[in-house]
Structure 1
Amino acid sequence: MATSLYTLIAHSFPDDRRLVAIEAPDRANLGKGFRSSWSFADLESNAARYASLIADLGLKRGDRVAVQVEKSPEALFLYLACLRGGFVFLPMNTAYRTDEVDYLVGNAEPSLMVCDPAREEEMLVIARKYGGMQVLTLDGLGRGSFGEAAGRVRDAHPPVDCASADLAAILYTSGTTGKPKGAMLSHGNLAANGLALRDAWAFTEHDVLLHALPIFHAHGLFVACHTALLSGARMIWLARFDSDQVIRHLPEASVFMGVPTFYTRLLDNPAFTRDVVAHMRLFTSGSAPLLAETFDEFKARTGLAILERYGMTETGMNTSNPYEGERRAGTVGFPLPGVEVRVMTDEGAECATGEIGDLQVRGQNVFSGYWRMPEKTTEEFAEGGWFRTGDVAMIDADGYVHLVGRAKDLIISGGFNVYPKEIEGLIDDMPEVLESAIVGVPHRDFGEAGIAVVVLNKGASLDEDTLLGRLKETVANYKVPKHAAFVESLPRNTMGKVQKNLLRETYRDACR
């Protein structure tokens, strides 16, 4: 079997090259010059041209390509070009502010940055700061200096025969220190996970995936795109989630992948009826906890059970509720083929059935480590290659995995990771603030939301709108708490540690 992910994808394309692979309804009415559909042959030819352009810019196998652009078919072609040419893809959240991008560029040292035209000047400033990074642009319609340059390329860059261990992508995930860490994902990691999901969820070339997720995130780029591409399935490509637009295209689809927020918004739309989903075979949810009430309401409305699964940036998907079999609300199902999971006590013994402990995983899906952080990599792995996820879980008598909490206080809001330490540091730096604590609480729309509990310096004055407004100027909006509460003091235990469990209980209904 080929080890290069690109080769696996190309071999999965149907023999009929005229079959439409991607349709972008958003572009259908834009007029002459805007493509709204692409075939599998188009995917391959564009990836080949894009890879040639990147090579012509002087990049070699293993060089990093940073990408912060709006979702578009061309952005997907750019990702495939990196796989084809052996370049390392580095996607960045489009919500990241300049300081956040600056840190990632300084750490990853990409040779090329492809950004939205509106941010070109910012990126050129960062490029001059570090040196050696070229900057090209690409917007949501495929326009920009990268698209123009690619249009002049006629050469097809041959696929590089990447080995399973070769680096394919770096995805940054923050930590309890607030400093993002680059998770190094190999061709073998991504291929193993994509093939496992394709088979576990019964994907075939007859499927049509309605794609409304962002593609700077593992969910939209790896889980959604890989399962479709590795099965030769078509995709209906929406630039972003909009409940009306999703409902309009659901009758043309067979599969939809979303975060809990997507499902609560669909349920809030009266046009979302059982008739709309009559041809659907699968709805999946991930990237954030799915509330049992959302699961039950969706099933009552549609007659279909959402399939919830569990994964993380460092491992891809680890577990999934069964495609055939009972999908249990409040659980994330069973380990995927090729993935092992175990729950461990603090003393290093394996937990008994129903006992709560630290969740660890092992398999070909698990990343090789953090970019340029060997000590942190060693710290996160237990003996025998088991990765410490930082999640607290238990496995019931039937083998279903239940996520109970997160040892590192990670908040997953609307599918995005929010690390309290980063936001607490920004709040604590405000002159009016003595100290703060960020906790996650249930949120019907986002699955989970951050609450800032703040203690002010004696005599200081600061209101909620001002505090949240300052944060919005500094970090991506998804990191900003949904609410700020001001208190006289934070609850602490006898050792002086803030009791976040008490804060979560106190404010658990603040975002209901």
Structure 2
Amino acid sequence: MTEITVPTDANVFGALFGREHDPARVFMETAAGRQLRFGEAADITARYAGLLAGLGVAKGRLVAGLLEKSPEGILLYLAVCRLGAVYLPVHIGLTDAEIGHILRDAEPVAVVCDPSRRDCVGSAGTHRVLTLDAKGAGTLTEGSRGIEGLDELTAVSPSDANAMVYTSGTTGRPKGALLSAGSVIWNARALAACWRIGPDDTLLHANPMAYGLFGTTTPALAGGAAMILLSKFETEAVLAALPRATIFAGVPTYYSRLMADPRFGRELCTEMRLFVTGSAPMRADAFEAFAARTGHRLLDRYGLTEALIATSNRFEDRRRPDTSGLPLPGSRLRIVDKDGQEVPAGTVGMIELQQPFPFLGYWRDDAKTAAAFRDGWFVTGDFGRVDEEGHVSVLGRGADLIITGGLNVYPKEVEAALNALDAVAESAVIGVSHPDFGEAVVAVVQPANRRTPFDPQQAIAALRSSLAGYKVPKRIELVDEMPRNTLGKIQKNLLKQRFAGTFGPGAG
């Protein structure tokens, strides 16, 4: 694979969109058929940049986007990049209180929001507010008409900030992670190379606007691909658009919903060349069933807010359901014990990263930033293992590690055994306070068929043949549906709260 380069003048607009494009070629298209061509994008982003500059947006200043997905929303990010400013994507599904916390903490100079969130945004700071809806209408587009565009790109170094993304906040209040221009460019170009994205590709984009910007949109920009934008994942819309796409990126929940539809199969995937999964574990049996049904093996990758996409299988790799591939070109990954000492291949430990452009730190929190690094390595907070060839298997968050009777239990290992049982649709393994063991292993199971009785005791007995005794759940709780966030990840923190009182004194 060729070396991934980042220019000294690292303006993200120039690096990811500055190539020569056929101006007549469709750049982005919505599910409703609204199209935007490559030739229009440069002019529109220049005019957006002119409007934002008039509001005081300049190099290093923050601009927040709280938007439904639209071509104009992506052009807004590119306009911010033109100015060398810092983009803050905010997920539109957050509550007013969550949005208010982010905006008051970040203090952006301007916010562009969907009209439905105008009141919430207006009460959360002194920023200037523009609107933009999913159809491309609003004061952003109206105000930019007739404005002289700013064609010149602001000079930006690789170490200058390009974006600030807030963490999910599952272990505390969300905190802003500053990403450099170098990291965004390097990550996008590395993924485009690993996935062989080129101008002949069309990405079917069903991921959320905020969470899908890096790792989905930016690699497509780096490769010069076109995009079909769906406002959200809906099976009907994906099935209708698949025949015109070559790449689809989603979470395991998307794939399970597609597999539940009998129309989804090889006939709809004749033009597809790549399906990417990530953000949550994929069941091994579901992985193999997808391959048998479509003729495509899913390509897994591993990412996190501070590091963007950290590892990925390559397009040409032999893809397995239990690995998220190799570190991206130019980066390194190691597995260490609690003392920071590297452990042998195959041994479980904490994942640490070295990237050519590490994240710049947490917003206004030097102490947390310092604690995030050890000897130049970023401490991810995730645990996993690598095989002899360097492929990483991610086993979960460090906060999810269960220590029962002094022994470590990695939830993913127990979940894999549970998911292999015919009666289980999905499982989540958590640690619950226990008077004798400190923590007890508890499994939460969503049965595969509500009409067929699920016997937790039979399941526990079956697990004893494949798991050591201390790993076998002491109790299995049943739920109709798992709580999930907008990326489809199971919210284990909510399950821990729900089942916190499972064991009383003397239980065992």
Q: TM-score range by the shorter chain?
A: 0.7 to 0.9
Report the Cα offset of residue 79 of structure 1: 0.6
- Partner-residue secondary structure (3-state), 2:124: helix
Aligned to 1:143: 137
In structure 1, what is the equivalent of residue 109 of structure 2? 111
Q: Which amino acid aligns with 1:195?
A: R
TM-score by length of 1: 0.78
Deviations 1:367-419 (A, max 9, x none): 11111111001001001x2000111111122322111222123999xxxxxxx
Which residue does 1:428 correspond to in 2? none
Gaps of 5+ in 2: 1-6, 402-410, 413-429, 433-439, 449-477
Offset of residue 488 of structure 1: 4.9
User: Residue in 2 aligned with 1:61?
Assistant: 59
- Give yes or no for contact 1:12–1:230 (8 Å, CA) kept in 2: no
Q: Report the more deviating stretch, 357-366 or 161-170.
A: 357-366
Aligned pair 1:258/2:250, yes or no? yes
Report the residue type matching 2:400 in the other structure: D
The residue type paired with residue 165 of structure 1 is S
Q: Is the 8 A contact 1:51 1:85 kept in 2?
A: yes
1:369 aligns with 2:361: yes
Q: Is the 8 A contact 2:327 2:333 kept in 1?
A: yes
Partner of 2:241 in structure 1? 249
Q: Deviations over 1:452-494 (max 9, x none)?
A: xxxxxxxxxxxx99xx99x99xxx998694798567554799x
Partner of 1:287: 279
Rounded to whole Å, the distance in 2 between the matches of 1:63 and 1:483 is 39
Specify every segment of 5 or more residues in structure 1 that has no aligned partner in the other structure, as ranges: 29-35, 413-419, 425-436, 446-463, 494-498, 503-512
For residues 267 and 53 of structure 2, the distance between their equivalents in structure 1, rounded to whole angstroms, comes to 49
What does residue 168 of structure 1 align with? 162
Give the match's secondary structure for 1:76. helix
Taking the aligned partners of 1:387 and 1:205, their CA distance within structure 2 comes to 34
Counterpart in the other structure of 2:261? 269
Following the alignment from structure 2 to structure 1, what is the Cα–Cα distance between the partners of residues 234 and 346? 40
Aligned pair 1:231/2:238, yes or no?
no
The aligned residue for residue 347 of structure 1 is 339
Select the residue among 6, 30, 49 that pairs with 2:13.
6
The answer to whether residue 404 in structure 2 is matched with residue 406 in structure 1 is no
Structure 1 CA distance, aligned partners of 2:395 and 2:95? 32
Change over 3 Å in CA distance of 1:57–1:483 after alignment to 2: same
Equivalent pairs, count:
436
Structure 1 residues 10 and 400, CA, compared in 2 at 3 Å: closer, same or farther?
closer
Amino acid at match of 2:95: R
Aligned match of 1:329: 321
Matches within 5 A, 1:14-29: 14=21, 16-26=22-32, 28=33
Residues 227, 477 of structure 1: alpha-carbon distance in 2 compared, 3 angstrom cutoff: closer
Deviations along 1:322-344, one digit per CA (max 9) or x if unpaired, are 31121011111111111100000
How far, CA to CA, are the matches of 1:364 and 1:477 in structure 2? 29
Aligned to 2:451: none
Aligned match of 1:41? 39
Greater shift after overlay, 88-97 or 220-229? 220-229
Q: Name the SS of the counterpart of 1:65 in structure 2.
A: strand
- Tell me the distance in 1 between the aligned counterparts of 2:341 and 2:38: 50
CA distance in 1, matches of 2:505, 2:298: 39
Counterpart in 1 of 2:309?
317
Is the Cα contact below 8 Å between 2:275 and 2:297 reproduced in 1?
yes
- Aligned sequence identity (%): 37
Please, which of 182, 187, 192 is the counterpart of residue 193 of structure 1? 187
> Taking structure 1 as reference, are residues 60 and 330 closer, same or farther at Cα in structure 2, changes over 3 Å only?
same
Distance of 1:56 and 1:492 partners within structure 2: 65
Counterpart of 2:98 (choices 97, 100, 106) is: 100
Following the alignment from structure 2 to structure 1, what is the Cα–Cα distance between the partners of residues 326 and 334? 11
Taking structure 1 as reference, are residues 122 and 376 closer, same or farther at Cα in structure 2, changes over 3 Å only?
A: same
TM-score by length of 2: 0.79
1:440: how far off?
8.7
CA apart distance, 1:206: 0.9
> Offset at 1:25?
2.9
Instruction: Please tell me whether the aligned partners of residues 161 and 360 of structure 2 are also in contact (alpha carbons under 8 angstroms).
Output: no
Distance 1:111 1:196 in 2: 32
The answer to whether the 8 Å contact 1:409/1:439 transfers is no
Correspondence for 2:172: 178
Amino acid at match of 2:129: V
* CA distance in 2: counterparts of 1:67 and 1:102, whole angstroms: 13
3-state SS, counterpart of residue 67 of structure 1: strand
Displacement of 1:136 after TM fit? 1.6
Cα distance in 2 between the residues matched to 1:259 and 1:298: 13
> Is the CA contact 1:274–1:301 (under 8 Å) kept in the aligned structure 2?
yes
Please give the alpha-carbon distance, in whole angstroms, between the structure 2 residues aligned to 1:239 and 1:193. 25
Report SS of the residue matched to 1:408. Answer: helix
Counterparts of 1:185 and 1:266 in 2: how far apart (Å)?
A: 34
Distance in 1 of aligned mates of 2:499 and 2:82 = 53
C-alpha distance after superposition, 1:417-454 (max 9, x if no partner)? xxx9xxx9xxxxxxxxxxxx999957799xxxxxxxxx
1:387 matched to 2:378: yes
The residue type equivalent to 1:5 in the other structure is V
Contact residue 95 and residue 477 of structure 1 kept, 8 A:
no
Matched with 1:416 is none
